[in-house]
Copies of this chain bind each other. A is one copy, B any other.
Amino acid sequence: MVHADASKFAANITKKETYTQVLEQAETLFDGQRNWLLILVFSNLANAASLIWHAQKSMSYPSNQNNWAGFYVVDPVNEKQLILGPFMGKVACQTIAFGQGVCGKAAQAKETIVVPDVNSFPGHIACDRDTNSEIVVPILLKDKVIGVIDCDSAVANTFDSEDRKYLEKLADLLSLACNW
C-alpha cells in the first residue's frame, strides 16, 4: 500500500469505523519509527494530523466541517508552554501558555475539553475566526502532559463523546508509540 492510501476513508462508514481505521493506520505507520529522536516524534505527529484530518473530512456533517487538526507539544525548555506542532489547516498560533485558551486549559487540567461553542468559552484564543467548536485531548506520559491533540470545526457542536473516546485512544497510542 502506498502511504497516501492511509488517508483514504470510505464515505459510508460510521464514525466508530472511521476512527478505528485511524487507530489501525496510525499503529502501522508508527511501527518501527520508535526512536529517541524528537524529530521522529514530529514525523509521527505529521502523519497522525493527516490521518485525523482526512478521517473527519470523510465523516458526515458536521464532522466534515473540521477546519484544523493537529498538535501542540510541551516546550522542553518552558514546561508551562505549548508550541505548535504538525497540523492540517490554516496558519496557527505558535505558542500557547498553560491555562490559556482551550489547549492551555486542557494541558493544565490533564483532561479532554469539548467546546460546543468557542464563542462562549472564557479566554478562547481566536487563531481562526471561522472556528466555532473545538476538542482538545491531552497526551499523557506517566501522568505528565507532553502535548495535546487539537481539532477545530467551522460548525458549533461538532465534537461528541465518540470523537472524545477515539481521540483519547489515539493520544494513548501516540504516547506509547513515540519516545518523547
Contact = CB atoms under 8 A, between A and B. Distances in A.
Contact of A39 (B83, B87, B89): B83
A83 B7 contact: no
Contacts of A7: 90-91
Given A2-B127, A2-B128, A128-B3, A83 B43 contact: yes
B2 A126 contact: yes
Interface in A47-90: 47, 50-51, 54, 70, 73, 75-77, 83-90
A131 to B, nearest CB: 8
Interface string A86-118: 111111111000000000000000000000000
A56 to B, nearest CB: 14
A173 interface: no
A4 B84 contact: no
Contacts of A70: 46
A176 interface: no
8 contacts: A6-B91, A38-B38, A39-B75, A39-B83, A50-B90, A50-B91, A86-B86, A86-B87
